[in-house]
Structure 1
Amino acid sequence: MSYLRWWSGGVVAAVLAVSWLPAGQLALAQTVDELRHDLESTKDTLRSAEERIRKFKEDIQIKKQEARSLQDQISVIEENISGLSLVIEQTSAEIANTEAEIEAVQKDIEVTEVEIARQKTILAEYIRSLYAFDQQSSVALFLKYATFSAAITEAATYEEMQTRGQEVLQEVKRLRQEMREKQTALEGFRTGLTQLQQRQEAQQATLASAKQSKERVLDLTKEQESEFQRLLAEAQRTHQSAEAEIGRLDAMIREELRKQGIGNLPSVGVLSWPVQPIFGVSCEFHCAGYPYAYLIGPHAGMDIPTNVGTPILAPADGYVARVRDSGGPGYSYILLLHGNKVSTVFGHVSGFAVGEGQMVSRGSVIGYSGGAPGTHGAGLSSGPHLHFEVRVDNAPVNPRQYL
């Protein structure tokens, strides 16, 4: 049998033997397809949760009412609880989606590993064939055939084997790079899953706090409506007093700092979030439907729902101008001064980690969030959150412009 015929029969047969898709790999491919189908289902669930949240936000703007009575306050709290529950449902859908992504990528990696092994087997066959060809001398090659054209044909086949071998080698390299990228993606999904699980834990704690707030308000029976009205009036006075105090202190302390040679406070640049918006923002700057607008005017900042006791981080370097502790359920807040006439206010604070006159750096803990009705520092509030204000030249502006 000539070498050419051996290569044509033996090598091609060997290459074909490893080129067809093994039953195990076919099963893997089917499993990946099934996983991709399941992944699309989880994405549909996630999209459905997002749509329900969007619809809820639209409806709430229509239904929101002023908290003028005890029942109104209960209704506002119940609406907040519904909103928090929907966001938790969305997070659960994101977790399920991420878990499905992880499983699908893991199966993709398995399929890629099988394909790399298959291509390496093909490459080994080419290398063995090329090695056998190389053992022949040029004279022996031509003497082996009766015609010159037959010898040329085998030489051309040798070149074809080299080309195909090079192509297989490049395919193995490509598959290895693809597998490295998939492994990187897998690590990213795993990190994202951990973050989602941590976010869900914080969301569950915030929801529990909101439900406790409802129970505290429900303790005020109808016979205590007058007591609720008294508390509202007191909260109104506290907030108005705080507003006047913030305006007065901002200008007065800046002037005092200027006299002391500290006139140029650090510029803010882009502000960092003082707490992570695990539920997004429940009420934006001047949001429609703010339930206490009839008492204290338009909403001067943004409300970021978060569990009571969440550390509040300084959004930029600054000077602690005021630490106002109500000593009870009244409104407590922190005022920071920054450069370029910018100041930041943090309301419904349940605890403090700084004192007046301190310089603080971006990211340092300055206090702890509150806002659950009836708890320390809550003031006028319908649930656990941080009220965050940005002021420029002592006038409230939309914090979104700086975050």
Structure 2
Amino acid sequence: MQKIKTKLKILTRATLVISLLSLFFYPGNIGATEYTLDDYTNQEIWEINQDINERRSEIQELKRQIDVYKKNISAKQRELYNLSNQIGTLNESIAKINLESQATELEVETLELKIENTELKIQAKEREIGDQKNILARNIRQLHKEQQNNSVLEILLLNENFSDFVAELDRLESMQDSLVDGVEELNEFKIALEQDQDSLENEKTEIDTLKGILENKKASLDGQKVAKYYLMSATQGEEAKYQEMLEGAKKEQEKINSDIVYMEQVAREKLNRQLEQIGIEDSEGLMWPVPSRIVTAYFHDEDYPYRYIFEHNAIDVATPQGTAIRATESGYVAKVRDGGQYGYSYIMLVHANKLSSVYGHVNVISVEEDQFVSKGQIIGYSGGQPGTRGAGPFSTGAHLHFEVRVNGVPVNPLNYLP
């Protein structure tokens, strides 16, 4: 008797079934479920996964070859400084960067396949959710219809015996349980769909990052090729000419470093007085000196082709010859050096908060020493193309050499740029 009372309570609650529609959009605390794919979609996903695995194998092989070139470059950099070794280092570096570009291209292709895979899953889930909604709507209409047409008393009168009455109650209870299960399954599909959509967005962000890296690699590769061509042209394959260039570059670099440290100290006092007079407020941070964000050589970059001559205390930003260079922050022009047609030209600015910035391979200088400049003001135009004014003897193509220093000590500019 107690069992029948329970079933009667279930049936009388049937009037509330329509409210289950609100569950369609209630995520609850249930986990995502896998969905059933049709045979065609399964085949597509399987083929995509096969392509992904093939590219991963290719990437691993390229990385193995890259490691070999890294060891070769490291070995050559420890050898005597002569023209043959420098050309050999450039050749190894060109080959390594070329392989890195190929590996990055494969990584981009792999991500594109993963995106295609995820999109197929999303489409399958959307179809499954649509089908599930249709099934639930049909079941709700059926249950609602039966509840309206047959009361508990009518069910009792319509059945010839008591056991048929109980069986009918069991059927209606099963229908309601099935409806609730269907709603829960729909919610699980919705959660799984949202997770795949999040994965898709992450994959798209990652592929944009990889494409940026690939662009940097290609620009770096071009720079290495330019450096090799210019070195061979300038020395005409003669060791004596190379050694002369090398010695001149070392002395020039030593003087530049000495001048920068000294002028940073001298200019700091002038800057502080200037800042007090004009009352400039604290800045929100440094700005990029050129529009490009393509970095071809990083701070203390191991792949920098002339690292054994002098440490790379900057980032190299690829930018077309003649690009306007803007002050990364308001400051005082502490040093301007015009290297002429064959020497190295640079501008040094001293800023507040113990910062200073250096802009190298400048083709055209637009400021003078002891001048105060505002953040974003044009201070010159970029160069770096070998053989052009201000590029210096060792340059890797058109770019801006950009340094940031704290108390005269070089630091990684990327830690200060937005």
Pairwise TM-score range, normalised by the shorter structure: 0.7 to 0.9
SS at match of 1:260: helix
Tell me if the contact between 2:364 and 2:382 (Cα under 8 Å) persists in the aligned partners. Answer: yes
Aligned partner letter, 1:290: R
Tell me if the contact between 2:115 and 2:204 (Cα under 8 Å) persists in the aligned partners. Answer: yes
Q: TM-score, normalised by structure 1?
A: 0.75
Quick one: which of 228, 235, 260 aligns to 1:246? 260
SS at match of 1:219: helix
The size of the alignment, in residue pairs, is 374
Quick one: which of 17, 26, 35 aligns to 2:48? 35
Cα distance in 2 for residues equivalent to 1:383 and 1:288: 9
Q: 2:164 matched to 1:150?
A: yes
Which runs of no fewer than 5 residues in structure 2 stay unpaired?
1-34
Aligned partner letter, 1:292: I
Task: Specify the alignment match of 1:290 in structure 2.
Answer: 307
Task: Specify the alignment match of 1:301 in structure 2.
Answer: 313
Which runs of no fewer than 5 residues in structure 1 stay unpaired?
1-20, 294-298
Q: How does 1:251-330 map to 2 (within 5 A)?
A: 251-262=265-276, 276=293, 278=295, 281=298, 283-284=300-301, 290-293=307-310, 299=311, 301-304=313-316, 306=318, 309=321, 317-321=329-333, 322-330=335-343
Tell me if the contact between 1:213 and 1:372 (Cα under 8 Å) persists in the aligned partners. Answer: no
Tell me if the contact between 2:336 and 2:347 (Cα under 8 Å) persists in the aligned partners. Answer: yes
Residues 268-292 of structure 1, C-alpha deviations (whole Å, 9 max, x = no match): 898777764655638449x999321
Q: TM-score, normalised by structure 2?
A: 0.72
Q: CA deviation at 1:138?
A: 1.8
Q: 2:125 matched to 1:112?
A: yes
- Farther-moved stretch of structure 1 (71-80 vs 86-95): 71-80
Tell me if the contact between 1:346 and 1:387 (Cα under 8 Å) persists in the aligned partners. Answer: yes
Task: Specify the alignment match of 1:392 in structure 2.
Answer: 406
Cα distance in 2 for residues equivalent to 1:288 and 1:203: 14
Cα distance in 2 for residues equivalent to 1:73 and 1:210: 12
Tell me if the contact between 2:339 and 2:390 (Cα under 8 Å) persists in the aligned partners. Answer: yes
Cα distance in 2 for residues equivalent to 1:143 and 1:352: 102
Q: CA deviation at 1:66?
A: 6.5
Residues 185-206 of structure 1, C-alpha deviations (whole Å, 9 max, x = no match): 4355345445544553454344
Quick one: which of 225, 233, 250 aligns to 1:236? 250
Cα distance in 2 for residues equivalent to 1:189 and 1:365: 38
Decide whether aligned partners of structure 1 residues 257 and 366 sit closer, same or farther in structure 2, where only a CA change above 3 A counts. Answer: closer
Q: CA deviation at 1:248?
A: 2.4
Task: Specify the alignment match of 1:378 in structure 2.
Answer: 391
Quick one: which of 341, 355, 362 aligns to 1:342? 355
Q: How does 1:42-61 map to 2 (within 5 A)?
A: 42-61=55-74
Q: How does 1:160-179 map to 2 (within 5 A)?
A: 160-179=174-193
Q: 2:372 matched to 1:357?
A: yes
Residues 298-330 of structure 1, C-alpha deviations (whole Å, 9 max, x = no match): x26145474654979879634252454423232
Tell me if the contact between 1:344 and 1:389 (Cα under 8 Å) persists in the aligned partners. Answer: yes
Residues 120-146 of structure 1, C-alpha deviations (whole Å, 9 max, x = no match): 343234224313321212221111223
RMSD: 4.0
Decide whether aligned partners of structure 1 residues 278 and 220 sit closer, same or farther in structure 2, where only a CA change above 3 A counts. Answer: closer
Cα distance in 2 for residues equivalent to 1:209 and 1:77: 10
Decide whether aligned partners of structure 1 residues 80 and 262 sit closer, same or farther in structure 2, where only a CA change above 3 A counts. Answer: farther
Q: How does 1:41-120 map to 2 (within 5 A)?
A: 41-65=54-78, 68-120=81-133
Tell me if the contact between 1:372 and 1:381 (Cα under 8 Å) persists in the aligned partners. Answer: no
Tell me if the contact between 1:109 and 1:183 (Cα under 8 Å) persists in the aligned partners. Answer: yes
SS at match of 2:352: coil
Q: How does 1:217-232 map to 2 (within 5 A)?
A: 217-220=231-234, 224-232=238-246
Cα distance in 2 for residues equivalent to 1:380 and 1:79: 21
Cα distance in 2 for residues equivalent to 1:194 and 1:288: 28
Residues 107-131 of structure 1, C-alpha deviations (whole Å, 9 max, x = no match): 1122212322332343234224313
Q: CA deviation at 1:104?
A: 0.6
Tell me if the contact between 1:85 and 1:207 (Cα under 8 Å) persists in the aligned partners. Answer: yes
Cα distance in 1 for residues equivalent to 2:165 and 2:263: 99
Identical residues among aligned pairs (%)? 29
Aligned partner letter, 2:156: F
Task: Specify the alignment match of 2:137 in structure 1.
Answer: 124
Residues 354-382 of structure 1, C-alpha deviations (whole Å, 9 max, x = no match): 77521216xx8876665554344332536
